[in-house]
Amino acid sequence: MERFIDAAPGVRLWTEGRGATDASPLLLIMGAQAPGLGWPDELVDMLTSRHRVIRYDHRDTGRSTWTFDQRPYPLSQLAEDALTVLDGLDIERAHIVGMSLGGMLTQLLIADHPNRLLSATLIGTSALSAVPYVQPDGTPIPPEELPGIAPRLLEMWSRPVEDLGLEAELERRVEHWRILGGHQLPFDAEYARALELKVIEHTGHYATSTAHARADASNLNRTEQLAQTTVPTLVISAPAEPVFPPPHPHHLAQAIQGARIIEIPGMGHALPREVHTPLAAAILDHTKR
């Protein structure tokens, strides 16, 4: 069921719920510039075996209101929007799964609103913590010295997005997914194209927003709160991750008190068919605990 929820005067958020309405709620938070349809239908449907699954469009994505140029907001506002979605659906507490920027927003919720979470699952993200990563041999590495984004991806992100028509935009997005997917699983260009075409049809246009890249990203450090949390947290480790490569997931698991970590073989910074079954199994096992 689709619904729009008012987040602020003149700002509406598109939401969709799947699964039994009386099942335990699970909120999916997608990454930067990505609407809720970035969570593939097949994966969402797997999670409905136990949950009422909610996905939604961030501000400046999909069918939600695009207003950043008129009314800029900090990235932390997107975490508050997640709470607005829960409030609008009369959900007091939920399991929350966040990917990429969504994983950072989930950490803000763990730190600032732990009473609203039943559990948290973090995918393809980095720790909002200044705690060093301690290697197996005991050597500490400051967070700023952990491996960075793959050069090929940085080069693509540095190029301005030009409006060369729908087909050219689809080709650009498919190539983006090829790089994000990493190098360990076969890449299905037709699957990526179909996903992006669905996103474009859902949005109503193929413009690319840069709002989240321009939003104020200061004051996100939550070192102490994450180190003291009691929210059950699962960290997904993706060995082919090009944005936050290992050992970022292990650093996350060290920074968040009590966090568990599980690796999804071959996974990168994407959600191709090959990872749906093991990823859903890991999430469902975690929420069942």
* DSSP characters over 131-154: PPEE-TTS-EE-GGGS----HHHH
* pLDDT value, residue 231: 98
- Provide the 3-class DSSP secondary structure of residue 267: coil
pLDDT digits (tens, 9 = 90+) for 26-54: 999 999 999 999 999 999 999 999 999 99
**Which domains are seen in the chain, by residue range?**
2-149+209-288 (3.40.50.1820)
- Give 18's contacts (C-beta < 8 A, 6+ positions apart): 44, 45, 48, 52, 53, 54
Phi, psi of 11 (to 5 degrees): -125, 120
* pLDDT value, residue 66: 97
- Provide the 3-class DSSP secondary structure of residue 286: helix
Enter the tokens of residue 285: 């096992």
- Give 27's contacts (C-beta < 8 A, 6+ positions apart): 54, 55, 56, 82, 85, 86, 91, 94, 95, 96, 97
* pLDDT value, residue 286: 98
- Give 209's contacts (C-beta < 8 A, 6+ positions apart): 33, 60, 61, 66, 68
Exposed / middle / buried, residue 227 (Cβ in 10 Å: 0-12, 13-18, 19+): middle
* pLDDT value, residue 202: 98
Q: Are strands 2-8 and 140-141 parallel, antiparallel or unpaired?
A: unpaired
What is the chain's pLDDT, residue by residue, as a tens digit (289 residues)?
999 999 999 999 999 999 999 999 999 999 999 999 999 999 999 999 999 999 999 999 999 999 999 999 999 999 999 999 999 999 999 999 999 999 999 999 999 999 999 999 999 999 999 999 999 999 999 999 999 999 999 999 999 888 999 999 999 999 999 999 999 999 999 999 999 999 999 999 999 899 999 999 999 999 999 999 999 999 999 999 999 999 999 999 999 999 999 999 999 999 999 999 999 999 999 999 8
* pLDDT value, residue 288: 95
* pLDDT value, residue 184: 97
Q: Are 231 and 117 in contact (CB under 8 A)?
A: yes
Task: Tell me the pTM.
Answer: 0.97
